[in-house]
Each structure stands twice: as C-alpha cells, then as structure tokens.
Amino acid sequence: MSRTMSVVRVLSLTALLLGLIASPRGTRLTAASESNSSAISSTDVQVQHVFVVMLENHSYSSVIGSSSMPYLNRLAKSYAYAKSYYANTHPSVGNYFMLTTGQIISNDDSYTQTVTADNVVRHLISAGKTWKEYTEGLPYVGYTGGNSGEYTEHHNPLSYFSDVRNSTAQRQNLVPFTHFSTDLSNHALPRYSFIVPDNDHNGHDCPDTIPYCTDSEKLAAVDSWLQTNIEPLVLSSDFNATHGGLLVIVFDESTDSIQGGGHVAWVVGGPSVKKGYVSTTLYQHPSTLRLVSEAVGLTTFPGAAATAPDMEEFILGD
C-alpha cells in the first residue's frame, strides 16, 4: 500500500471518529430499524401508535402516590413519569389547545369558533398519518357541535380545527369512545389517538353513581375507568410489539397556577419507554405535543412544540 493511501485511510478514520464524538444529541424521533431494539437510541425510535389520554383538574400531589389511584400509580412506577410537569394556563380549553396546536387559542371554555391555526391534525394529514379522537359521550360520528348530554365540547380540541370541520372525510375521525375497543380488537387503531373520557370519568365531576362524592371518590372513578378501558390497550399485542405503542396520560390543569396552569401528573408507558424512570426536568404541554408528534414520525410541529424541550429522556437508549 502506498504512503499516500495510508495517509488517506488515517485521515478518513480520524474524521469518522471525530464525527462520532462531535455528533449532537438528537432532537427528534425517527424511523427505527426493527432488528435490534436493545441497541436503538432515542433518536431512532418511531412507534406505530401514540395515545394521549386527557384527565381533569387535579394536582400532582393528589394523584401520584394516591391510594385512590392504584392503577395509574402502578403504570407510573412500571414505566415512567415526570415530577416537574406543569400545565400552561387556566381554565381547561387553553391547555387542550396547547396539547394540539402549541398555542393558547382561547381561555374561554365557551369558545365555539373554528380554529384555523396550525395544528397536529394538519401535520398528520400532510404526513399521511391516520388519526382519531375517541370521545366518551360524543353524540355521533363526525359531531362538531356544542355540549350535549355528557359531551363537553371544550375537552375535544380536534373538533374545532378547520382541517376537520371543513372536511367530510376528516370529520369521520371524530368518533364516540365506544369505537375504541372495536378498533383495538380489530387491530385497526390509527397512528395518533386523542382519548377523552367524559366528566364522570376524567376527574371533573362526581360519577353518576355517587352524586355527592369526595375528591378521593372522583379519583377512584378515574382510576377504575382507566383500568377498565386502557388496561386492555396496555396488554394488547399491538401496543407491546417492538415500537408498538406510546401512551401518555396527563391532567389538563391543576388547582394551583404555578407556571401558568399548575403542577400536574404526567405518565408515559410503552415498550420503548424506560422502566421505572422518573424525570425532574421541567416540562409543559407543548413538549407532550412534540413527543407524540416525533413518535409517529412527524418532523414538523405546530406552535410552541417546534421549540419546546424534547422528552427523549423517557425513551430507551437516551
């Protein structure tokens, strides 16, 4: 081998090593090789399904460690949770919009206008990703009207978006929660699911069976609903396949106003999530929007999600 070729090889090897050393921590989750899950870093993980379950109006301290919520706490301890997660605002609707548009579109829970701002549905459609909002109490498939019976409009942010309201096809992705178990059984879950229990089961109100309940009884009703309706997902083969599912359970706001909307519980689970992991990093709702968007392979994010701190520390390989 000539001296020139030897020098070239040395320089190439040096450049390669320097490239590896200088390579920055990734800022997004991208498509993964399915062949070696133990070696996959957080920058390589793309899951098949993400699920965001929305709960209501309780502080972190009333949820994490609560004897009224053994199921949610078991998920938190088995998978991971954030100790320093805060909602963005009060009341509810601004937080729901933060989780889906990265903006506080309105802080009026009576808001009914069509939202034309950039949003997660727009990015999902653009990337060819399927989505559904599974809403308990929704009067019928495609409903975009106001409160009705157990249905609460301002807890259902995707129903406001012009991308949905102005499209017959996209409106069909607004479905009653009863569709969730059917889609799970039929292995027909979309890439992105936004799951909304009604006020009897999200911690907002007392359940119908206990009209005058304590706060502990509210939380017990939430926990029972989660175990009945979310546990089948967590145990399913689709969720537990390599990079199968990513589940986030989060409360919209707290009873305090720290960081705008108060200290709330945030729990994440899935086969790609670190087990028994607890983060002390400060996060808010735009980071959740970024996490679930990255997890299904989106590379652009609406509103504040574009610059929000990523949550890759929860992902195996980080």
Residue 48 pLDDT:
96
Give the separation between CA 216 and CA 219, rounded to whole angstroms. Answer: 5
Give the separation between CA 224 and CA 198, rounded to whole angstroms. Answer: 13
Q: Residue 104 contacts by C-beta under 8 Å, 6 or more apart in sequence?
A: 88, 89, 94, 97, 98
Give the separation between CA 279 and CA 261, rounded to whole angstroms. Answer: 19
Q: 262: which DSSP letter?
A: -
Query: Where do the domains of the chain lie?
Result: 3-314
Residue 1 pLDDT:
45
Q: 106: which DSSP letter?
A: -
Residue 308 pLDDT:
98
Q: Residue 45 contacts by C-beta under 8 Å, 6 or more apart in sequence?
A: 29, 30, 32, 243, 272, 295, 315, 316, 317
248 and 268 Cβ atoms separated by less than 8 Å: yes
Residue 83 pLDDT:
98
Residue with tokens 């994490």, as numbered in its chain: 64
Q: Residue 84: is it exposed, middle or buried by C-beta count within 10 angstroms (0-12/13-18/19+)?
A: middle
Give the separation between CA 226 and CA 305, rounded to whole angstroms. Answer: 27
184 and 245 Cβ atoms separated by less than 8 Å: no
Alpha carbon 123 to chain centroid distance?
15
156 and 135 Cβ atoms separated by less than 8 Å: yes
> How many angstroms separate the most distant Cα atoms in the chain?
88
Q: Residue 107: is it exposed, middle or buried by C-beta count within 10 angstroms (0-12/13-18/19+)?
A: middle
Residue 208 pLDDT:
87
Q: What is the pLDDT along the chain (318 residues), one digit of tens a residue?
A: 444 334 333 334 333 333 333 333 333 333 332 222 322 334 457 899 999 999 999 999 999 999 999 999 999 999 999 999 999 999 999 999 999 999 999 999 999 999 999 999 999 999 999 999 999 999 999 999 999 988 999 999 999 999 999 999 999 999 999 999 999 999 999 999 999 999 999 989 888 889 899 999 999 999 999 999 999 999 999 999 998 999 999 999 999 999 999 999 999 999 999 999 999 999 999 999 999 999 999 999 999 999 999 999 999 975
Tell me the sheet residues that pair with 132: 193
Structure tokens at 247: 């589940």
Residue 11 pLDDT:
37
Give 213-227 pLDDT, tens digit per residue.
Answer: 999 999 999 999 999
Backbone torsions φ then ψ of 102, nearest 5 degrees = 75, 15
**Fold held by 3-314:** Alkaline Phosphatase, subunit A (3.40.720)
Structure tokens at 275: 């087990």
Residue 318 pLDDT:
57
Residue 24 pLDDT:
32
pTM: 0.86
In this structure, the chain runs to a length of 318
Give 28-74 pLDDT, tens digit per residue.
Answer: 333 332 222 322 334 457 899 999 999 999 999 999 999 999 999 99
Beta strands in the chain (DSSP E): 49-55, 80-82, 85-86, 131-135, 174-176, 192-196, 245-251, 266-269, 277-279, 283-284
